[in-house]
């Protein structure tokens, strides 16, 4: 596939190399020629120097052939304007992904209707989870972490209770799978839990908080 990465900072350089290693055709765009020094020595994609808002620069990057574009400069305002420009003038591009650098600017990016990835917010969310309770392991994150999928281990004090016992009173949470001895199944509310089971849940942050609180309560009467 043909991808264009606009912005060759540390984030853009890493993304470009990962795409290249996975066999894709990659063009990297940046206004500073020294920025390309951040690219991995083995990178064999193409680099284009120029103003990312210039029609000439976008043309030289072969934007009309791109299947996806990542705008990952350190300026949220620039990312929003470039992303909007590409969507208007190159509607054939299937994916336009914009990096959110400053969480305070996220609402502005969302106002443009752009698909955004907030590396700062996402990273902070991961660190928070590990600090609070490492027994909850995030295995998938949707959006920018608003909804995530977790794996959690059933402790001894919940042995013999049902899924409904565990989830009762917990909003913002759905049970996706129950794994026992390496075999997974779709649980129902009456599925009994055993010590050592791995429960996979999809949840908001509030949902995870309520589930943690429930686990700390132990068995209910």
Q: Which residue's entry shows tokens 């066999």?
A: 23
Whether 62 and 150 map to the same domain: the answer is no
Whether 12 and 94 map to the same domain: the answer is yes
Whether 134 and 115 map to the same domain: the answer is no
Domain boundary among 100, 120, 140: 120
C-alpha torsion 29→30→36→38, nearest 10: -100
Whether 164 and 64 map to the same domain: the answer is no
CATH number of the domain that 53 lies in?
A: 3.40.50.720
Whether 116 and 133 map to the same domain: the answer is no
- For the stretch 50-78, pLDDT in tens is 999 999 999 999 999 999 999 999 999 99
Whether 179 and 114 map to the same domain: the answer is no
Residue 157, phi then psi, degrees to nearest 5: -70, -15
How many domains is the chain built from?
A: 2
- Grouping H, G, I as helix, E, B as strand and the rest as coil, residue 86 is helix
Whether 65 and 116 map to the same domain: the answer is yes
Q: For each of the chain's 221 residues, which pLDDT tens digit applies? A: 999 999 999 999 999 999 999 999 999 999 999 999 999 999 999 999 999 999 999 999 999 999 999 999 999 999 999 999 999 999 999 999 999 988 888 888 888 888 888 878 777 876 776 676 666 777 887 876 788 888 888 888 888 999 988 888 888 888 999 999 888 999 999 999 998 888 999 988 888 888 878 777 754 44
Return the half-sphere exposure (C-beta side, CA atoms, 13 A cut-off) of residue 178: 20
Name the helix (H) or strand (E) containing 71: strand 68-71
Neighbours of 211 (CB within 10 A): 23
Whether 60 and 94 map to the same domain: the answer is yes
Range of the domain at 23: 2-120
Q: Name the residue among 219, 79, 105, 214 with its Cα closest to residue 161.
A: 219
Domain boundary among 95, 120, 145: 120
Domain boundary among 74, 99, 120: 120
Starting from the edge strand earliest in sequence, which strands make up the sheet with 2-6, in order? 46-49, 25-30, 2-6, 68-71, 95-100, 115-118
- For the stretch 143-169, pLDDT in tens is 767 888 888 888 888 889 999 888 888
Whether 116 and 193 map to the same domain: the answer is no
Q: Name the residue among 34, 43, 91 with its Cα closest to residue 66.
A: 91
Query: Distance between CA atoms of 35 and 32, rounded to whole angstroms?
Result: 6
Whether 133 and 108 map to the same domain: the answer is no
Query: Distance between CA atoms of 175 and 209, rounded to whole angstroms?
Result: 15
CATH number of the domain that 165 lies in?
A: 3.30.70.1450
Whether 170 and 112 map to the same domain: the answer is no
Whether 99 and 150 map to the same domain: the answer is no
């Amino acid at each position: 596939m043909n991808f264009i990465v606009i912005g060759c900072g540390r984030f853009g350089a890493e993304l470009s190399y990962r795409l290249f290693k996975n066999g894709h055709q990659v063009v990297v765009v940046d206004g500073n020629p020294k920025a390309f020094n951040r690219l991995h020595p083995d990178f064999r994609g193409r680099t284009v120097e120029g103003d990312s808002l210039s029609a000439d620069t976008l043309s030289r990057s072969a934007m009309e052939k791109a299947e996806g574009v990542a705008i990952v400069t350190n300026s949220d305002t620039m990312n929003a304007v470039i992303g909007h420009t590409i969507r208007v003038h190159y509607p054939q591009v299937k994916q336009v992904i914009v990096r959110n650098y400053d969480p305070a600017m996220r609402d502005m990016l969302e106002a443009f209707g752009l698909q955004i990835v907030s590396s700062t917010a996402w990273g902070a969310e991961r660190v928070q989870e590990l600090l609070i309770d490492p027994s909850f392991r995030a295995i998938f994150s949707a959006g920018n972490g608003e909804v995530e999928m977790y794996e959690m281990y059933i402790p001894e004090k919940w042995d013999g209770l049902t899924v409904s016992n565990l989830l009762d009173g917990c909003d913002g949470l759905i049970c996706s799978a129950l794994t026992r001895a390496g075999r997974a199944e779709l649980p129902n509310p009456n599925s009994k839990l055993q010590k050592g089971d791995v429960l996979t849940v999809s949840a908001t942050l509030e949902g995870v908080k309520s589930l943690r609180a429930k686990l700390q309560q132990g068995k209910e009467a």
